[in-house]
Structure formats: C-alpha cells, structure tokens
Structure 1
Amino acid sequence: MGTTFHGPSPWPHITRAIRVRGPRHAAIAYLGEDAPALLPLRAGDLLVVNASRAAVRAHVTSPIALAYYVEAGVRVLSSPNLHAGVIATSRRAVIGSANASHSSTIADEAVVITDDPEIVAAAWTFIDGIDEITEVDQVFLDNASTEWQIGRSVPIPGIGGRMRAELDFLPARVTRMFLRHIVEYEPSPAEKQAWAATQAHRSGAATGPAATYQLEWFRPGDRRARLNRGDVVIFVTDDNEWIYPPAVVDSDAIAIPHTHKAFGHLLRTRADLQPLPVADAEQQLAALGHPNPRLATDHRIISASLRAALLRLWKL
C-alpha cells in the first residue's frame, strides 16, 4: 500500500483502511452522534477522546456516541487536552485532522494513511502515551449526559480558546475540605448488575493508557450535607483503619429519582493514589504539628494548615 494522502473528504478512505482484524487503537478528539458509522470499532479496541465537560457542553463530543462504544465493548478513555486524529491498526496508521462527526465529513479535512512500520509503531506509542486520562464508564456517561443537557457554549482547546483544560486535580485553592466515614450498604440488584458489567468490560480491556482519574458516585447519608463543586472530601473507613486519598467534588448535587429529596455527587479521584493506615497518617500529621486531627469524627476541616498537612500525606 505504501503511504497515501487523502483530502478533502478522507472519511471513506479512513473507514475502509481500519476495517481489519486485530486490535485497533484510536485517538480522535471529538465524536458526533454518527461517529460509530465512520469509526467502526469493536470489542477489544481502544478509543481515546476529548469528553471533557467543555467538549460535551459545547456539543462537540456526544454522550450517545460514547455510550455506543462502551456498550460495544470498546475501552473508552477521555483526555481533556486531546486535539489529534490518530488511528493505529496492526499494519496501518491514519494521521490527520478529521474528527468522527458529520461536520467533519462536509469540511475540508486531510489524512495520511501509511503502512510504514516505523510510523505505525510511533502511532501506537503516541496513543498509549496520552496522559490525563479518565475511564469512561456508566458514571462518566451519566455525568456527560447531564452536561450535554446544560449545553452552554464554552471555549474548547484548539477551537475556541487557548487555555489547556482541566489540568489540575485539586482546585487552585482548597478552601473547603470535609472528612467523612465510609458507610457500607447493600447494593440493589440493578447496581450489582451494572457493577458486574463494568468489571467484565474492564477485565477484558485492551492495553492502552493507564487511567489517571476515575469518577465515583457519593450519596451523603445526611440530606443536609450538600457539597459544592470543587470541594475536597477525604474518606475514612468505618472501623477507622484506613484513610483514603482526597476526592474532588465534580458535580453539583444530583437529585435521585423516586426518593424523598435524596441526592448525590460525582467525585473525581486519582487512580494512582493509595489509602494509608490511619495510625500512620496520625503519626505523620502529629509530626507536621497536628497531634489531634480528629480522624475518627466526620467534620469540616476548618484549619488551613491541617488541610495542607492532609494533602501532604499523598504529596499533593
């Protein structure tokens, strides 16, 4: 085949080039609702997209397309700074400007398709090296659907703005931090089924970038314990044995249907941070000037120096 250039309407060539056996990895910044017709991925493939809050609210990445790929068994990851179009198969690489959307099919786009082994290997390396990654699962999809409904225009990196998006895990200033104990509860059958499906999908996932962040669901036991987006929550197990790394509130309060005013929040967590024994944490905090951090009690952490000391437990 060699190396060929395709433009200004490259999508038929892209779709044909990637209809091959074996795993395929794709890094396509934005997805329209018709993306699956243009980018026919299957179970075992990997797709990295920009499904940041800004991209979804601006309607350049569709939750419908994300859900289609997840349900098909594709491992889907979101990187908020992705602005590339790269696809790698076992024998070919596709590199160009095209997003997987109807607007891309009617725009003047251009790609290069090649079977040069060095370029194919470089394309795989590029995709597998993308950072700032969040796994797209059912919790992520629910949040994306909410953001899509908000639908207000915001700057998109490389399209409408110059700033990189969502780079930092913690807010620039952590002014509200809470300590909460984890309360075990029995999941409903629907929750168990959804969890099993998610675990099965992840266990069979293709190799690719390691997820940096994950979204988790948190339902406060006290209906008055409403949090704000950007608040930091540190959890301790109910037996006071383990303290978990900080989680950042990533949503406003979300009403839970068919309940009496119950609500929950989405929390963003760092996948690379591990829990610590509470005894070890108390020793480190005492060495930092906080001999009584009250880790056994749910409370808002008012002391700025204690907030900073808690973050230092994980070198944040």
Structure 2
Amino acid sequence: MGTTFHGPGPWPHITRAIRVRGPRHAAIAYLGEDAPTLLPLRAGDLLVVNASRAAVRAHVTSPIALAYYVEAGVRVLSSPNLHANVIATSRRAVIGSANASHSSTIADEAVVITDDPEVVAAAWTFIDGIEEITEVDQAFLDNATTAWQIGRSVPIPGIGGRLRAELDFLPARVTRMFLRHIVEYEPSVTEQQTWDTQARRHHTATAGPAATYQLEWFRLDDRRARLRRGDVLIFTDDNDWIYPPAVVDSDAIAIPHTHRAFGHLLLVRADLQPVSVADAEQQLADFGHPNPRLTTDHRIISASLRAALLRLWNL
C-alpha cells in the first residue's frame, strides 16, 4: 500500500483502512452521534477521546456514541488534553485532522494512511502513552449525559460550531425528499432511552411553540438508506392516508445492541393534518403529476413533484 494522502473527504478511506483483523487503537478527539458508522470499532479495541465536560457541553463529543462503544466492548478512555486524531492497526496508521463526526464529513479534512512500520509503531506508542486519562464507565456516561443536556455553552479551542439558527420548518431549498411507508414496531428499552435522551436535548434547542413544532423518532435498519439533516420525509400508511412532511433534524443516531440500526429525530408541524391518498392523487394530477406513486417507497427526484407534494399543505 505504501503511504497515501486523502482529502478533502477522507472518511471512506479511513473506514476502509481500519476494517482489519486484530486490535485497533484510536485517539480521536471528538465523536459525533454517528461516530460508530465512521469508526467501526469492536470488542478488544481501545478508543481515547476528549470527553471532558467542556467537550460534551459544547456538543462536540456525544454521550450516545460513547455508550455505543462501551456497550460494544470497546475500552473507552477520556483525555481532556487530546486534540489529535490517530488510528493504529496491526499494519497501518491513520494520521490527520478528521474527527469522527458528521461535521467532519462535510468539512475539508485531510489524513495520511501508511503501512510504514516505523510510523505504525510510533502511532501505537503515541496512543498508548496518552496521559491524564479517565475510564469511561456507566457513572461517567451518566455525568456526560447531564452535561450534554446543559447545552452548548463552553467554547472549544480549534473547533468551529454553528449555532442553530432561528427555526424554519422546511429547508430554504428542498433538494432531497423521500416517500416512506409507516411501519409499526415496538421499540426496545435501549432504543426508547436513546430517543428520550435525544428528545430532552432538543427540547430547549427547538424553537417555536411546542404546540406547533414537535419531534418524532424514525428508525432505519439499513445504513445504505442513510438520511441527512434537512431531508424531507412524506409518510403513508395502510389506511390510505398521506402525512404532512417531516424534516430530518439530527445526524444518524446509533442504536446500541443492534448491528446496523440507527435513528433520526424528525421535526414535524403538529398543526398540519393528513390527507387521504385519493384526494392527494387527485390534487397532484391537477398539478400535472398523474402518477405520483404514493404507495411505493422511493426518493422523489422530480423537483416539480416535490413542490406539488408540499402544496398539499400549502407549504
């Protein structure tokens, strides 16, 4: 393999490079909620992260991600001085700027991946030599969850953050819309706890009257169907109703004790009512869309059909 440089979007290369046998040691400063997807560690691996109170309160290290790794059998340690991003496997070292977070996937990041034995050995030495560490256990996670709920109030040197702007229900430009059939299921205790934790955190962050804007939970079992913040979902059910649009309001949230499942928080308008599929099809036909496929799960590619669907609720 040699030594390769990857940027400005290195995460696919990182994820692929570390999918190897044997233990992996990683020192990743900050973890987003979707870190387990980017950084697939397993039992026997070691993860050092900056999960200091300041980092958690600043929402740059997620307790949900920490809990996922701990429950997966990864040994997780916190170091308040960590600002590096280094991963070491038996054959490779990854060194660069990329944190394990959604923000990192949309930023201009860069890493070097190498199989140079001296560099690999130096990466192991660096990670194993990090000092002032604290074991992340259940008590640590409980405290981290409390700190997270306090909200973004402490600046972190070197980390840029964008505060949530005044709420707009829909993105300024809806470019990704999906039609999904509602599937009834009973969430596990762990999933309900994950949802409750995220809902409490968003309670103070979500602008607008609670009677108008509400949060819902949407689970996906296929990571290939990953959604993005700002995506719009239109749901239908078995009773021939089509529901008002819901906007994805979170990164993917890993659900502990599942192999691939994850969830998203959805923002909905409680003052909008469902429309019968028959009425919707008639209105869409009047708008120039006689075959909108309202009973089939699919991504709505047509910009005019997306606009026509929103017009069902005068949006």
> Structure 1-normalised TM-score?
0.51
Conserved? CA contact 2:215–2:267, under 8 Å? yes
Aligned in 2, Cα 1:241/1:252: closer, same or farther, shift over 3 Å?
same
Of the structure 1 ranges 210-219 and 44-53, higher mean CA displacement relative to structure 2 is found in: 210-219
Q: Secondary structure at the match of 1:179?
A: strand
Conserved? CA contact 2:218–2:266, under 8 Å? yes
Of the structure 1 ranges 255-264 and 60-69, higher mean CA displacement relative to structure 2 is found in: 255-264
| In structure 1, C-alpha distance between the alignment counterparts of 2:24 and 2:212, rounded to whole Å | 21
Q: Quick check: 1:288 aligned with 2:287?
A: yes
Of the structure 1 ranges 216-225 and 152-161, higher mean CA displacement relative to structure 2 is found in: 216-225
| In structure 2, C-alpha distance between the alignment counterparts of 1:213 and 1:147, rounded to whole Å | 25
| In structure 2, C-alpha distance between the alignment counterparts of 1:46 and 1:40, rounded to whole Å | 12
Post-superposition offset of 1:36: 0.2
Conserved? CA contact 1:44–1:73, under 8 Å? yes
Q: Quick check: 1:143 aligned with 2:135?
A: no
Listed one character per residue, the Cα deviations across residues 46-92 of structure 1 (whole Å, up to 9, x for unaligned) are 00000000000000000000000000000000000100110000000
Q: Unaligned regions of 5+ residues in structure 1, if any?
A: none
Listed one character per residue, the Cα deviations across residues 255-288 of structure 1 (whole Å, up to 9, x for unaligned) are 9999999999999999999999999999999999
Listed one character per residue, the Cα deviations across residues 216-235 of structure 1 (whole Å, up to 9, x for unaligned) are 99999999999999999999
Aligned in 2, Cα 1:3/1:20: closer, same or farther, shift over 3 Å?
same
| In structure 2, C-alpha distance between the alignment counterparts of 1:274 and 1:262, rounded to whole Å | 29
| In structure 2, C-alpha distance between the alignment counterparts of 1:144 and 1:92, rounded to whole Å | 32
Q: Identity over the aligned pairs, expressed in percent?
A: 90
Conserved? CA contact 1:135–1:211, under 8 Å? no
Could you say what the CA RMSD is over the residues aligned between the two structures, in angstroms? 18.3
Q: Quick check: 1:98 aligned with 2:98?
A: yes
Listed one character per residue, the Cα deviations across residues 7-56 of structure 1 (whole Å, up to 9, x for unaligned) are 00000000000000000000000000000000000000000000000000
Of the structure 1 ranges 1-10 and 279-288, higher mean CA displacement relative to structure 2 is found in: 279-288
Of the structure 1 ranges 244-253 and 305-314, higher mean CA displacement relative to structure 2 is found in: 305-314
Post-superposition offset of 1:153: 1.8
Of the structure 1 ranges 283-292 and 257-266, higher mean CA displacement relative to structure 2 is found in: 283-292
Post-superposition offset of 1:159: 3.0
Q: Secondary structure at the match of 2:290?
A: coil
Q: How many residues align?
A: 313
| In structure 1, C-alpha distance between the alignment counterparts of 2:240 and 2:164, rounded to whole Å | 39
Conserved? CA contact 1:46–1:206, under 8 Å? no
Conserved? CA contact 1:66–1:76, under 8 Å? yes
Post-superposition offset of 1:152: 3.3
Aligned in 2, Cα 1:211/1:113: closer, same or farther, shift over 3 Å?
farther
Q: Quick check: 1:174 aligned with 2:158?
A: no
* 4+ runs deviating over 6 angstroms: 160-195, 198-235, 237-316
| In structure 2, C-alpha distance between the alignment counterparts of 1:27 and 1:161, rounded to whole Å | 21
Aligned in 2, Cα 1:44/1:200: closer, same or farther, shift over 3 Å?
farther
Post-superposition offset of 1:155: 2.2
Aligned in 2, Cα 1:75/1:52: closer, same or farther, shift over 3 Å?
same
Aligned in 2, Cα 1:12/1:267: closer, same or farther, shift over 3 Å?
closer
| In structure 2, C-alpha distance between the alignment counterparts of 1:269 and 1:132, rounded to whole Å | 44
Aligned in 2, Cα 1:65/1:189: closer, same or farther, shift over 3 Å?
closer
Aligned in 2, Cα 1:169/1:28: closer, same or farther, shift over 3 Å?
farther
Of the structure 1 ranges 250-259 and 113-122, higher mean CA displacement relative to structure 2 is found in: 250-259
Post-superposition offset of 1:156: 1.4
Post-superposition offset of 1:115: 0.1
* Matched residue, 2:212: 212
> Structure 2-normalised TM-score?
0.52
Of the structure 1 ranges 268-277 and 17-26, higher mean CA displacement relative to structure 2 is found in: 268-277
Conserved? CA contact 1:248–1:267, under 8 Å? yes
Aligned in 2, Cα 1:279/1:153: closer, same or farther, shift over 3 Å?
same
Q: Secondary structure at the match of 2:284?
A: helix
Post-superposition offset of 1:118: 0.1
Conserved? CA contact 2:180–2:297, under 8 Å? yes
Q: Quick check: 1:46 aligned with 2:11?
A: no
Of the structure 1 ranges 49-58 and 272-281, higher mean CA displacement relative to structure 2 is found in: 272-281
